[in-house]
Structure formats: C-alpha cells, structure tokens
Amino acid sequence: MDVGLKIWRFNRETGDRELREYEIDAPEEATLLDCLDIVKDKHDGSLAYRKSCRMMICGSCGMRMDGGAVLACKTRIYDVVKDGHVPTISAMGNLPIIKDLVVDMAPFWAKFRAVDPYLRPGYQEPPHGKEHLISPQRMNVIHKEALCINCGCCVSECNAMESDPRFLGPQALAKAMRFVGDPRDGHKIDRLETLNDEHGIWECTRCYFCNERCPKGVDPRDAIAKLGAESMKEGIERDMGAKHAKWFVHSAKTTGWLRETELVPKTQGVVSAIKQTKFALGLLKHGKVPPPFPPHVAEGVGESRRLYDLVQDQGVRGYDAIVQGERALAKLEHMHDEDNGRDPFAEGTLRPYLPDEKPEEIGGANEGMGSLTQADVTPGEEPTRKPEGGA
Amino acid sequence: MEATHDVLVVGAGCAGMRAAIEAHDAGADVGVISKLHPTRSHSGAAEGGINAALGNAGDDDPEKHTFDTVKGSDYLGDQDGIEILCREAPGDIYQLEHWGAFFSRRDDGKLAQRPFGAAGSPRTVFAADITGHVLIQVLYEQLVKRDITVYEEFFAWQLVENDGRCQGVIAWDLVNGGLKTFGGKTVVLCTGGQGRIYRVTTNAYACTGDGMAMALRLGVPLKDMEFMQFHPTTLYPSGVLLTEGCRGEGAYLINKDGERFMQRYAPNALELASRDVVSRSETTEIEAGRGINGSVLLDMRHLGAERIIERLPGSRELSMTFAGVDPIYDPVPVRPGAHYHMGGVDTDNDGATELTGLYAAGETACVSVHGANRLGGNSLMETITFGRRAGRAAAEWALSHTTIDVPTSAEADAARELGRMLDFSGGERPWQIRQDLGSSMLDNFGVFRYADQMAQQVDYLEELKERFDRGVVIEDKGDVFNTDLTSAIELGFCIDLARCMLQAGLARTESRGAHSRPRDYPDRDDENWMRHSISRWNGDGPELSYKEVRVTRFEPMERTY
C-alpha cells in the first residue's frame, strides 16, 4: 500500500522548521508508528520520534495527525490514507518541541508532581497487615482515572492550557481525582483545597477536547467535573467557578431558565457586577439579555424541579453522583450494543468442542448445551417437549 | 563526571523502581538511569497479573506456589530462590496495596485472584488486564514521593569496572547528546529482556537486552541463555500480547475446525497448561495444517460481553485495534511469539553478580526462579521481590564502602568508539541486519529446535556479526534525540546475546521447558542436564560452562499437565 506522509520537521539547534513529504510502501495492517519506522529506516534516519511498546500502554508516541493528538501506534494508517489523503504529522501541542515529533515533557511532569501524585494514607491501618477491605464498587470509582498512561494527548489539545500555561491541566487533574476518589487516601480535603486554588479545576473551559482525544478513555474532563462536585459537597466553593455552577443549578430549579442578569453578581460578586453595568446596558439595548423583572418562568419548570428533586432524593452527591451517571450510561450503551449486536454463535461460525465429544452432540452453544427443557426435533416428526422441570 | 550516587539503578521498570525505592529507604543516595521515562517501561505492558499465595480465592499457601513454580521450571529453577520468592510474595503484594496499587477486588473487599496456567490454585492478583500498568504507576508514584533522582532518557551503554569493582555507567544523553559518566558504589541492572531479537515478539522496541550485553562484555557470566519463552497467545499479525488471563477467565483455544485441541496435549489442565506446553501444542496444530494463516484461535465468545468488558477490556481493545476483531463476537487469531527470557545475568538470591558492586534484578537477571519455563504471573512478582532484595543488598554494600573511582580514560575510550560509529559511511543501514536477525532467530531458534537449523543459525549469526562490525551507516549525525545511533548500539547488543543463546541451545542435548528438540533429544535428561548453562565472554565470543542447580526439597518428577 502506498502511503504519503507530510511531517513537520524541527531542529532545535538551528530553529529550522520544515514540512517534508515522504512516499513509502507499507503493509495494509501498518499503524502510523509502523509508517514512521519505515520512513526512519529506509528514507531518512534523522527523523526523531518516541516509541516503545507499540501496544497503546507505554504512552510514548503521542503526536498530532492533521492537527489532533493521537497515539501513533493506535492509528491504523489504512483508514486514513485509503481515499488518497496525505496526513500531516506534527509534534503535540502545548509542550516545547525538542526535535521533529519529540516534545519536552518536563512541563507535563511538573504538573503531575504538583498534585502530590501518590497515596497519602489515612489513619486507618488495614487489619493484620493485610490488604484494605474495599468493595469493587467503591474501588472502581477511580477505574477510568487509573487507565491514564501519561501520553500527553489531552494536554496537547487543552485550550485552557494554551491561554494559561500554569493551569494544572487535564492529566494532572485526572491523576488528582485518582487519589481524591481512593478510599485509602486520608487527605481528600487538603487535596480539594489545593485543587480549588488559582490554576486549578475551575480554570477548565469545558471544551471536552481532552475527553475526545484521550486514547485510553480516561475522560479527564469528567474527572475534573468529579473534583468540582466533590469540592462543593465538602463545602469548598469559594472559587467563582463553583459559585457559577451553583447559580446555574439554582436558576434552573427556580425558573427553569438561566437568569444571566443575576448570574454575574452571584458569580463575581456585587462590586464586580456594578463595574460591568455599562456593558450590561449595552447588551440590554441590543436585546441580548431579557429584562430581569419580572422573572420569566419557563413553561416546563415543573419538570425541571422534579428532576432536581429526584436527584436530591437519591442522596448521591459529589463524584459518586457522576460515577453513578457514568455507570448508568455505560449500561445503556451496553444494552444498546446487545440489541444491535450479532449472535456470536450464528449459523456458519465455529463452535468450540472437545476432541472427545462429537461436534454434532454439542448443539447450538447459545442455547446452553444439554438443556433439559428444550424440545427434541426429529425431521419429519412433531417436536416433543420435555417434561417440566427436566427429564 | 556527570554525577555520583551510592547506588545507580539502570532501568526503571518494575524491578528498577522497586530496587531504587528499597535502596533509598535503606538510606542510600540513589540515581536511576533509564533510556525511557519510567512509566514508559515495558513492565507496564504486563497484563494478566502477579502471583502470590494469599489464599483469597481458594486454598493456597507459599508451599504450593513453590511446588508449582519448581515443576513449571522443569526442575531447572534454583529451589532456594523459588522458596524465597513464594514466601515473600504475599508481604510484597500487601505493601503494594498499601502504597495504593489499584488491584481488582472480590465482593468481600479482599484482593481478587484469578487462575493462571499451571497454578494449583487461583493465585494471580490482578488489575483487570492492565496489572503491569498499575504497578508501574504505583512504583513511579512512590519514586516521586521520595524525590529519587531519575536520569530520564539516558541510554546506558557501558559499565565501568575499576579495581575489580563495578563503579559506574557511561550513558548517552538522548535529549542533549553527548556521553555522560555516572559513578556509583554499586550498580543494579534492571534493563529487562531482549525479545526484540525475534521478529514476532510481545516485547517493546526498547527490549534489547542492554543490561545483559553490558554485563557480558565486562566478563560477567550470563546464565541459561537458551531459554526463551514463547507466549501462546500473541495477536496475529502484530505480535502484541493477549494475556493468559483470557484463558484464566475461561477462554478456549481452538483450531480451524473449532476443536479445543489442548485436550489432546494436556488432558487435565487444557488451555491452562504451562506456556511451553501450550505453545508447542499450537505449533504442532499449525504445522499439521489445522491453523488459519499460521495461527490458531482464541475464543472468548462464551464468556459473554459483560465479563469480557469487565475483566478483559484491554485485550478486547488490542484485538479490535490490531486485528479488527471484537472478541465478543469472533474468535481472535493468535500464535506463539517470543515473550520472556528466563536466562540473564547470573545472580545469587540477593541479586549480586560475580563482579563486586554489580547487581541485577528482573528479566535482566537469572536467579533463577523460572528455570527452563516461567509461569505466568511469576515475572511481575520476581521484579518486586528480587528488585527489593537487590536494592537492599546494593544499598548495604554501598553504605559500608566510601570510594568511587572512575578513570577518565573510560569515557574517552567510549567517545572514540562512538566517533567511529558516527563517522562511518558507505555500509548498510542497521535495519537490514535487524530484520535478518529477527527472522532467522524465529525460523531457527523458535518453539521447536532442530540441530541442523541451530548449526546454520550459529554460522548466520557470525555473518551478521561481521556485517555489523564492518560498520553500519548512522544517518543522523546530530546530538539531539539521535535514536538512529542508539538503535544501532542496541542491535550490537542483540547480536551478542543471540550468539550466547544459540551456543547454549545447540550444546543442550535434551528437551527441557522452553528448549524443545523433538527430533534428536525429545526427553528431559536430568542425569546430564539438570544444570545451568553459563555463558562468558572470552574476547570475541561467548564460552560455555555449567553450574549445578540448587535443589532443596523437590526431586525431579515427570512433568505432565
């Protein structure tokens, strides 16, 4: 298969940057990483990129393809080039480039270190020096965060980090959630306090690029939401972001609308709101904000309130509420899959059998072998039903 | 000299990080040198689990674990080392749990344990199918907590011996270029295996046996180099690993007719026989024409979507990404692939090698707890238990000695050699030799071994060595991130190690564990061969000798599953 690649080359020593095009021959099953290997071996040995496991677990080969972060080893090139497309490969964003596709990860790891990325045990010692006893449901609260391979794809795409490089960013915050949600950690409140500081969780702009580009399904934005929810559950709501979120809920509950005129003083405080009076009047003049009085109540506000009460009644708060939602969604998705999925043991597929059994004795594996209540069918004869409760 | 430390750890996978943590906690000043960032290490790719007789899921104790391991090793494992491993494993697991390892749980809150090949009880502690990843993360977290110095992306190239002691490491700085010398009172090699010698392997690109090759060139003996484990379930065509945990959870191996052929080879254990047995069975099926595209099929369909998604999500993701097959709906094509090297730097039970000041742990080392065949789940445990022991021993020695003396000539010699490599032009590119090495090793020194093929491979390796020594062209002449240079050095390591493997394999006239000679020596020969092969560099090639196996309580018996 012919593959064309355009690769942004960069030389730190000279500062030269150049888009170079390569034509290579690659096997159909090749990944982007395999293609880079072919370029390096057979076309240009000076091309620099990181690689190691080539199985999506070491996190070395994060880079950008056509402007979005990918793991090179996870990207099947056939799907990309089959219509003649020539992808452009470049280094990840938001990190300084060392050479070609290799970025300096030092700022990335500095953020990682900033969240105390290790268990700080509480006072409860596990019994008899053995393991802590924790239910699977409780432990699995952090299972998505535990999948993170530190590849940097989320950081590469983070819009908030682009405007404020000091923002802790999606991977460090996902790592933080990994400990905030760990029942063995004894410093949840301290951690949340720190994470609510400037450049912490409330700096995220909720663009969801990190979720979209994470190759491992960590969903860092959701981790940030969990940290926010847990902070508010614990009464840590000093940040404007927390107040903003709180007002959203209040507004939706009372009138079913977002009341923007009230949002500003509630979020930023009265003084700041007064300072923005001129801007607000301008908006009002152009019909961009509805008059604050009398408040407009949405027609279906009853439904909005019932939803609010339903959630309140469940009494699940903080990250638990988000995790519960995630599990419910996953279950729905899974059921949806099952409805549309094909039968794994459909006609014409292989049926496993042991050599000392004859294959025809096995029957449809899907029905359960040797079912006692199933009908016996002999061609040309009426089916006979086995007696209730088995033979 | 760039820096000096009491203890230098080379490599930052599970063994390296565990050794570094232990040495630090023993009071030593530790520096870790690694060609990858620690979390990129290949330990992270281990999937299925880590063995410790906790007895959470069934009746179990270290004694049973010991017996299973001795039997699994085909009686080549050193039994005192195996006893240490199995006895200390539970404590090490609890410690990892206390550090925050994210293991899967039982409903009663204890650590979950799953069945694994050739284990008499469900003994394998796991985190879904990303156990290695979870361990790498928790160890790195502990490294960060202790603020241990890590020289990331420094490619260790040579060990420095002075005064009959190992006292340092010469490394190439990948990010900035240039040779850097690190001094250490002790050096612990934890650089992993050398699966990249083979074309079809589960191993990362980084697994090129660097530590073994560095030790070998210093005259330190390697042990049991002929024993390369072929994992039975590597994905076709890419060779990435699908965990033994799939079979532990109940997956079948079937041939093209759907027959669960393992019953004909291992009537009791079936799919959960020892890895060498399963790989031989698969190869026999494939050679008899009952395979598909040189593969057999791993069938998980009957486990159902829920179990696959909960317990084997990584395996499903790998199958879908690299083979385009969703194991919920279709069987997955798999074949044996080079996976784990039982042999390595000859060490005692504290990781000490023959050379004072030099230690080794993990896949780099050969204690030997795996003998001729490793059981699934035992290698992660070895990295932790023996990483800890080596780290402790290295720290204690370092703390009772004061001097580090690295002659400046060492770096100057290395720099001259490097200059020659970079200046060379007009020869072939290293990838050609690398490809020829990988293919020929797979063809001639794979699951089954035949005298004529081995002899042919010995000659071929000489030829590859000659091609390499004649000079290879390194196109990248720059200092910054020059992996063209380091991958050429790695190739040289691989060729040396392959020569050791072939020499030891051809000489071993029996079949034991992963070394199988079905035509000329189909049986195990305890009388002549219950002993370790020792490979020692004699100037321009390896030289063989032998060493007794340490037997404590288990006399060799016939090995069936």
Q: Tell me if chain B has a CB within 8 Å of the CB of A83.
A: no
Can you tell me the ipTM of this complex?
Answer: 0.96
Sole residue written with tokens 């951690």: A191
Rg for chain A, CA atoms, rounded: 28
Rounded distance between C-alpha atoms, residue A217 and residue B173, angstroms? 34
Rounded distance between C-alpha atoms, residue A266 and residue A260, angstroms? 10
Among B36, B106, B481, select the one facing A48 at the smallest CB separation: B481
B275 is catalytic: yes
Q: Are B63 and B85 in contact (CB under 8 A)?
A: no
The answer for B 303-362 residues in CB contact with A (under 8 A) is: 305-306, 309, 314, 317-318, 321-322, 328-331
Mutation test of the interface with chain B: which of A24, A29, A54, A58, choosing the one with the most B Cβ atoms within 10 A? A58
Rg for chain B, CA atoms, rounded: 22
What residues contact residue B193 under an 8 Å CB cut-off, 6+ apart? B42, B203, B207, B209, B340, B341, B344, B363, B364
* Percentage, residues of chain B above pLDDT 70: 100
B332 → chain A, closest CA residue:
A350
The segments of chain A whose pLDDT lies below 50 read 361-380, 383-391
Dihedral pair phi/psi, residue A132, rounded to 5°: -65, 145
Tokens of B224: 């049991």
CB < 8 Å to B482, chain A: 48
Q: What single-letter amino acid sits at B438?
A: G
Higher pLDDT, A340 or B34: B34
What residues contact residue B448 under an 8 Å CB cut-off, 6+ apart? B280, B283, B516, B517, B518
CB < 8 Å to B478, chain A: 11, 13, 46, 99
pLDDT digits (tens, 9 = 90+) for B336-366: 999 999 999 999 999 999 999 999 999 999 9
A55 → chain B, closest CA residue:
B240
CB < 8 Å to A150, chain B: 39
A349 → chain B, closest CA residue:
B330
Report whether the peptide linkage leading into residue A295 is cis, meaning its omega lies within 30 degrees of zero. no
Domains B232-336 and B408-539 equal at CATH topology level: no
CB < 8 Å to A181, chain B: none
Q: What's the pLDDT at A115?
A: 98
Within 10 angstroms of residue B145's Cβ, the number of other Cβ atoms is: 17
CB < 8 Å to A99, chain B: 478, 480-481
From B275, B280, B389, B499, the catalytic residue: B275
Give the largest CA-CA distance in chain A.
90
Q: Are B85 and B386 in contact (CB under 8 A)?
A: yes
CB < 8 Å to A74, chain B: 321
Among A117, A179, A345, select the one facing B301 at the smallest CB separation: A345
* Percentage, residues of chain B above pLDDT 90: 98
Q: What's the pLDDT at A363?
A: 42
Rounded distance between C-alpha atoms, residue B87 and residue B385, angstroms? 10
Q: Is A240 exposed, middle or buried (0-12, 13-18, 19+ CB in 10 A)?
A: middle
CB contact under 8 Å between A13 and B108, yes or no, is no
Rounded distance between C-alpha atoms, residue B257 and residue B278, angstroms? 18
Q: What single-letter amino acid sits at B156?
A: A
pLDDT digits (tens, 9 = 90+) for B433-452: 999 999 999 999 999 999 99
Q: What single-letter amino acid sits at B55?
A: G
CB contact under 8 Å between A57 and B475, yes or no, is no
Q: What single-letter amino acid sits at B215?
A: A
Rounded distance between C-alpha atoms, residue B75 and residue B67, angstroms? 10
pLDDT digits (tens, 9 = 90+) for A152-176: 999 999 999 999 999 999 999 999 9
CB < 8 Å to B93, chain A: 131
Q: Element (H or E) spanning B231, and its range? A: strand B228-235
CB < 8 Å to B105, chain A: 134-136, 139
Q: Element (H or E) spanning B458, and its range? A: helix B451-470
Q: What single-letter amino acid sits at A331?
A: K
Rounded distance between C-alpha atoms, residue B411 and residue B407, angstroms? 8
A62 → chain B, closest CA residue:
B40
pLDDT digits (tens, 9 = 90+) for B373-385: 999 999 999 999 9
The answer for A 98-117 residues in CB contact with B (under 8 A) is: 98-100, 102, 104-105, 109, 112-113, 117
Nearest Cα of chain A lies from the Cα of B257 at a distance, in angstroms, of 7
The answer for B 147-186 residues in CB contact with A (under 8 A) is: 175
Q: Tell me if chain B has a CB within 8 Å of the CB of A131.
A: yes
Report whether the peptide linkage leading into residue A294 is cis, meaning its omega lies within 30 degrees of zero. yes
Nearest Cα of chain A lies from the Cα of B524 at a distance, in angstroms, of 28
Mutation test of the interface with chain A: which of B43, B480, B482, B485, choosing the one with the most A Cβ atoms within 10 A? B480
Q: CATH number of B232-336: 3.40.50.300, 3.90.700.10, 3.40.630.10, 3.30.70.890?
A: 3.90.700.10
pLDDT digits (tens, 9 = 90+) for B494-539: 999 999 999 999 999 999 999 999 999 999 999 999 999 999 999 8
CB contact under 8 Å between A54 and B309, yes or no, is no
**Which residue ranges make up each domain of chain B?**
3-227+340-399, 232-336, 408-539
Nearest Cα of chain B lies from the Cα of A337 at a distance, in angstroms, of 10
Q: What's the pLDDT at A337?
A: 67
Q: Element (H or E) spanning A324, and its range? A: helix A319-340
Q: What's the pLDDT at A359?
A: 61
CB contact under 8 Å between B102 and A99, yes or no, is no
B473 → chain A, closest CA residue:
A45
CB < 8 Å to A118, chain B: 99-100, 141-142, 144-145
CB < 8 Å to B137, chain A: 146
CB contact under 8 Å between A44 and B94, yes or no, is no
Task: State the number of CA atoms in the 13 A half-sphere of B400 facing the CB.
Answer: 6
CB contact under 8 Å between B36 and A136, yes or no, is no
CB contact under 8 Å between A58 and B297, yes or no, is no
Nearest Cα of chain A lies from the Cα of B278 at a distance, in angstroms, of 16
Domains in chain A: ranges and CATH: 2-103 (3.10.20.30), 105-119+139-256+300-337 (1.10.1060.10)
CATH number of B408-539: 1.20.58.100
Q: Tell me if chain B has a CB within 8 Å of the CB of A187.
A: no
Rounded distance between C-alpha atoms, residue A224 and residue A115, angstroms? 13
B484 → chain A, closest CA residue:
A45
Tokens of B26: 């023993």
Q: What's the pLDDT at B59?
A: 96
Dihedral pair phi/psi, residue A5, rounded to 5°: -130, 135
CB contact under 8 Å between B206 and A52, yes or no, is yes
Among A76, A149, A184, select the one facing B133 at the smallest CB separation: A149
- CA angle (A124, A125, A129) in 5-degree steps: 165
Q: Tell me if chain A has a CB within 8 Å of the CB of B27.
A: no
Among B141, B205, B263, select the one facing A51 at the smallest CB separation: B205
Rounded distance between C-alpha atoms, residue B143 and residue B149, angstroms? 9
Nearest Cα of chain B lies from the Cα of A384 at a distance, in angstroms, of 28
The residues that bridge with B159 in the sheet, in sequence order, are: B169
A–B interface: beta-carbon pairs under 8 A? 203
CB contact under 8 Å between B110 and A133, yes or no, is yes
CB contact under 8 Å between B94 and A130, yes or no, is yes
Q: State which fold the B3-227+340-399 domain adopts.
A: FAD/NAD(P)-binding domain (3.50.50)
